[in-house]
Amino acid sequence: MPASSVSKRALRRGLILFLLGLSLAGHGAESGESLARQGAGGAPPCVTCHGADGRGNAAGGFPSLAGLDADYQAKQLHDFASGQRANPIMAPIAKALSDEQIQAVATYYAGLDAGSGQDDDAKPGESPGRDWVVNGHWQANQPACIACHGDGARGVGDQFPALAGQHAGYLEAQLKAWQSGQRKNDANAVMAAVANAMTEQQIKEVAAYLAALPAAGEVPEHARPDPAPRIADALNDYFQPPLLEYLPDNEFGASVRRGADIFRHTSSDAEAGRYVGNSQSCVNCHMNNGRQANAAPMWAAWGQYPAWRGKNHKVNTMAERLRGCFTYSQNAQASEAGQAPAADSQVIVDLMSFLFWQSKGTPTGEVLPGRGYPELDEPAQPFSPERGAALYADHCALCHGNDGQGTALTKRRYQFPPLWGDQAFNWGAGMHRVNTAAAFIHANMPLGKPGSLSVQQAWDLAAFITSQPRPQDPRFKGDLETTIKDFHGNRAMDYYGKTVNGYRLGAPGTLEQWQRDLADKP
């Protein structure tokens, strides 16, 4: 390590310690650093195993803590102390720490430099684990690791820790622990579902790729998702869309790639974002970049257009159908452009290139298995938003937030989409219907655990979510009753115009009232 780098780091550390000292001085708490270096209550100091720089020790199986989210670390220490996370070494150490000490030491390690990759000899771009990490393993219904752990696997919030640059052996051991049930201290047992979908070999490969990812600096190109995976990702008995190797390296391929970017990050795309009036992206409803059977796959939709649609009383080409998604699911009326992109705009052309390319080999005009969302059986009891609210807290709030507002990375980019409110799909989107939402939920949610909810639970959840305030139906011309009559005929499956929790859904002012109520929440 060059001297100048050492002295810079020393300066930075000094500054952090100084600030920590200031903040803790008032109430007599120990600094996180002194706890880390000296231990507390007879417990050995953290640095013994996790190193002076907090980056752990690969050979010993000790994880890097540097830069890990403080709340995540604090939760782990509490879990070690309570036995929720079983670990014979960490249990006595965590038990010896007070709540304040846990917070201090977690904050200390969160502030350390995570570095830029541990395994310098790895060739991450060629790693067989890459595809699972960046594209997912959708044959097993598993989204990419980065779908929850964020860009470059650098963590999202306090529930999805950074994985990039963590020691491979530690990652491997944890995946096996999730798999065996030895570790189970996550929310909703998501990691058990993920790990159970993996073979021992896959665990090794995924861990190796994650370990080789830089924990800081620019996210490398190879860690960004592809327009298509390099390994088959179709569920059994369904159409297999083309793999990456078939994507040509020419102008058409460039259009497909642009379309894939738009599809994945519609609301924050430099071009397409102008037409998005909320925080929604195509991939939210069309899982796995529109490739997943029973998640409204694009390859099953492509060959169905032009088709007449009652929704707008005309024959819709695919371009028009895509415009419909912008109009309703992406609430274009509230966008910068104020409307969906034109049928011949580059945004629509690129999306069409992407859809068309995914559809190579599908029979034109024929209905394919896996199209749309599979129709769900009727619920045993009438669906209930009240039961849905409880289920939501247990199964959905982790990602979509207690108030349905999703998990935002930036103003326009969300790791997990909002489900109601001004950033959600509007009252004209297909997803506002209870049956559509229930079918989607049952087949695809929670992420990584589709099929884990019962039919009744899916209906109840759908009822809860679709009975929340959201943006106006763009076909509303001033009169709720007329809009109901013209476009919301299926009253059994539609909360539009009904009053739920004091909100007259779809009525002028309702969404604004809901926004004020949310802002006033403690």
- Whether 103 and 193 have beta carbons less than 8 Å apart is answered as no
Residue number with CB closer to a second copy (300 or 438): 300
Residue number with CB closer to a second copy (86 or 349): 349
Residue number with CB closer to a second copy (234 or 348): 348
Provide, rounded to whole angstroms, the least separation between the CB of residue 366 and a second copy. 6
Provide, rounded to whole angstroms, the least separation between the CB of residue 249 and a second copy. 12
Provide, rounded to whole angstroms, the least separation between the CB of residue 260 and a second copy. 14
Residue number with CB closer to a second copy (357 or 459): 357
Other Cβ atoms within 10 Å of 89 Cβ, number? 12
3-state secondary structure of 251: helix
Residue number with CB closer to a second copy (363 or 382): 363
- Whether 318 and 256 have beta carbons less than 8 Å apart is answered as no
Residue number with CB closer to a second copy (46 or 351): 351
Report whether the peptide linkage leading into residue 242 is cis, meaning its omega lies within 30 degrees of zero.
no
- Which of 353, 302, 124, 369 shows the shortest CA–CA distance to 223? 124
Residue number with CB closer to a second copy (18 or 252): 252
- Which of 164, 179, 197 shows the shortest CA–CA distance to 63? 164
Provide, rounded to whole angstroms, the least separation between the CB of residue 333 and a second copy. 18
Provide, rounded to whole angstroms, the least separation between the CB of residue 256 and a second copy. 9
> What's the rounded Cα separation, in Å, for the pair 412 and 418?
11
Provide, rounded to whole angstroms, the least separation between the CB of residue 306 and a second copy. 5
Pairing type for strands 314-316 and 307-309 reads: antiparallel
- Whether 483 and 507 have beta carbons less than 8 Å apart is answered as no
DSSP output for 215-283: SSSSPPGGGSPPSS-SS--PPTTS--PPPGGGS-SSHHHHHHHHHHHHHHSGGG-TTGGGG-SSS--GG
Residue number with CB closer to a second copy (108 or 328): 328
Pairing type for strands 407-408 and 414-416 reads: antiparallel
Provide, rounded to whole angstroms, the least separation between the CB of residue 408 and a second copy. 33
Residue number with CB closer to a second copy (120 or 344): 344
- Which of 315, 454, 297, 332 shows the shortest CA–CA distance to 383? 454
β-strand partners of 62: 57
- Which of 405, 141, 406 shows the shortest CA–CA distance to 295? 141
> What's the rounded Cα separation, in Å, for the pair 326 and 343?
12
Provide, rounded to whole angstroms, the least separation between the CB of residue 318 and a second copy. 8
- Whether 445 and 400 have beta carbons less than 8 Å apart is answered as no
- Which of 111, 53, 63 shows the shortest CA–CA distance to 211? 63
Provide, rounded to whole angstroms, the least separation between the CB of residue 351 and a second copy. 10
Provide, rounded to whole angstroms, the least separation between the CB of residue 486 and a second copy. 17
Provide, rounded to whole angstroms, the least separation between the CB of residue 307 and a second copy. 6
Residue number with CB closer to a second copy (79 or 350): 350
Amino acid at 254: A
- Note the residues at the interface with a second copy (CB under 8 A): 250-252, 255, 302-303, 305-308, 314-315, 317, 319-320, 342-344, 348-350, 352-353, 356-357, 359-366
Residue number with CB closer to a second copy (155 or 259): 259
> What's the rounded Cα separation, in Å, for the pair 393 and 413?
23
3-state secondary structure of 82: helix
CA-CA distances (angstroms) from residue 424 to 34, 144, 249?
Answer: 46, 23, 36
> What's the rounded Cα separation, in Å, for the pair 247 and 281?
23
Provide, rounded to whole angstroms, the least separation between the CB of residue 316 and a second copy. 8
- Whether 110 and 70 have beta carbons less than 8 Å apart is answered as yes
Residue number with CB closer to a second copy (228 or 434): 228
Residue number with CB closer to a second copy (111 or 474): 474
CA-CA distances (angstroms) from residue 314 to 305, 309, 378, 397?
Answer: 12, 6, 31, 39
Provide, rounded to whole angstroms, the least separation between the CB of residue 18 and a second copy. 57
- Whether 248 and 169 have beta carbons less than 8 Å apart is answered as no
> What's the rounded Cα separation, in Å, for the pair 459 and 442?
8
